[in-house]
Amino acid sequence: MRFFTSLLPRLLLLSTALLTFAAPGFAASRIKDIVDVEGVRKNQLIGYGIVVGLNGTGDSVRNAPFTKQSLEAMLERLGVNVRDANLNTKNVAAVMVTAELPAFSASGSRMDVSVSAMGDAKSLLGGTLLVTPLLGADGEAYAVAQGTVQTGSISAGGASGSSITKGVPTSGRIASGGIVEREIAFDLNAMPVVRLTLKNPDFTTSKRIALAINASYPGTAFAENPTIVSLKAPQGTNMMNFVTDIEQMNVNVDTPAKVVIDEVNGVIVMGENVRVSRVAIAQGNLTISVQEQPFASQPAPFSQGQTALVPDSQVSIDEEKGKKLYDLKATTSLSDLIEGLNALGVSPRDMISILQAIKTSGALQADIEVM
């Protein structure tokens, strides 16, 4: 008896643990994944440069005057005068260089850059980008790019003119090819109020974020609108630590009822909140075939007639059988809607027409977005 008495608490603890693990959890998302912090963003940079070392796949200097001018200016800065020379190299290409400067980037840190040909270059494979300043929207240089261009493409051609190209050989990347030269000043801790921007604006989600933050830090969050939630750090906590703490909070994200249709590829995406009022659906295919089999009509002997081509048309109608009228009950859920449409044996493209017809009838309680 003593043995069973001591074993009973362990059994109760084990059963409680099993129930805890078996219980389904709510589909919650971290605040970090559904919002952006005001001011913490990337900045786009752009520059104009020259790629050299191409194996005869560069710009035609005669057809690309900007390449010739850039080559002459670069050589003059290096002490070589080629103004009156007849340049006819195909190992040089003029390119545009783009990059994104990450937030809080320090001077000396590296970033990836993209290189794209401007002229009639055939390929940038194996080329080297020379030192190129990268400018921001204010016209100031924030980074410098240089390095070997990697295109990740394949291009081959034969003497007969046939060629095979896989990928885009006139565009490539330079991994860690950009070096940050100027930092963008941004002091997060000096900001008295920081605003969180929802990636998918929604009234309910914005309110839930404010409630979740105020539950742990009362009076620090306020939902201004479906997009903005304002934050004010509590006393004794700087803004950096406060934002770090609330990023890990979980919030149930609410989404509007929407059906997204891609008619080109026949793709349909429906959210879980899509509902359908009671409606009857019948679907079937009607095929009308017209076949023309003309034959020659010969005149009777000695009738002085002429041979004529007489048309002979055969028209047939083939209607698919076995499709019944399907009744969707009121407040049908997404799973019931899919099950009902599958019961009709419809294809994705037919399903697009059915959903649009249901929306027209007023029975589909969701927005339809056609891509």
The mean pLDDT of 218-226, rounded to a whole number, is 93
Question: Distance between CA 250 and CA 208 in Å, rounded?
Answer: 10
What pLDDT, on the 0 to 100 scale, is given for residue 45? 96
**Degrees, nearest 5: CA angle 167-168-173:** 105
Give the tens place of pLDDT for each residue, 29-51.
899 999 999 888 899 999 999 99
Secondary element (H or E) of residue 164: strand 163-166
Tell which wins on pLDDT, 330 or 208.
208
Q: Is the pLDDT of residue 19 over 50?
A: no
Q: What is the pLDDT of residue 18?
A: 34
C-alpha atoms less than 13 angstroms from C-alpha of 61 in its C-beta half-sphere? 15
Q: Which of 38, 366, 31 is nearest to 206 (CA)?
A: 31
Distant-in-sequence, close-in-space partners of 241: CB < 8 Å, separation ≥ 6: none
pLDDT score recorded for residue 25? 40
Distance CA 323, CA 253 (A): 39
Q: What mean pLDDT is reported for the chain? A: 80
Rounded Cα gap, residues 337 and 355, in angstroms: 10
- Check residue 323 and give its pLDDT: 53
Query: Residue 221: which pLDDT band, with cuts at 50, 70 and 90?
Result: very high
**pLDDT on residue 87:** 78
Query: With the C-alpha atoms ordered 145, 146, 147, 150, is the resulting torsion angle positive or negative?
Result: positive
Residue 209, pLDDT > 60, answer yes
CA 254 and chain centroid, separation: 21
User: How would residue 24 be classed by pLDDT, with cut points 50, 70 and 90?
Assistant: very low
Per mean pLDDT, which range of 103-112, 185-194, 199-208 is the poorest?
A: 185-194
**Greater pLDDT, 7 or 267:** 267
Quote the pLDDT of residue 311: 66
CB 228 within 8 A of CB 195: yes
pLDDT of 289? 54
* Average pLDDT estimate for 156-166: 64
pLDDT mean over 298-312: 69
pLDDT, residue 26, reads 45
Higher pLDDT, 25 or 80: 80
| pLDDT above 80 (res 345) | no
Pick the range with the lowest mean pLDDT from 53-67, 124-138, 203-217. Answer: 53-67
Contact 132, 174 (CB under 8 A): no
Each residue of 191-205: pLDDT tens digit? 889 999 999 999 999
pLDDT at residue 176, rounded to an integer: 92
Tokens 């990023």 appear where?
Answer: 247
Of 237, 175, 151, 209, give the one whose Cα is nearest residue 30. Answer: 209
Predicted confidence (pLDDT) per residue in 347-359, tens digit: 777 777 878 887 8
11 pLDDT above the threshold of 50: no
Structure-token pair, residue 139? 């016209």
Task: List % helix, strand, coil for the chain (3-state, nearest 5).
Answer: 25, 35, 45
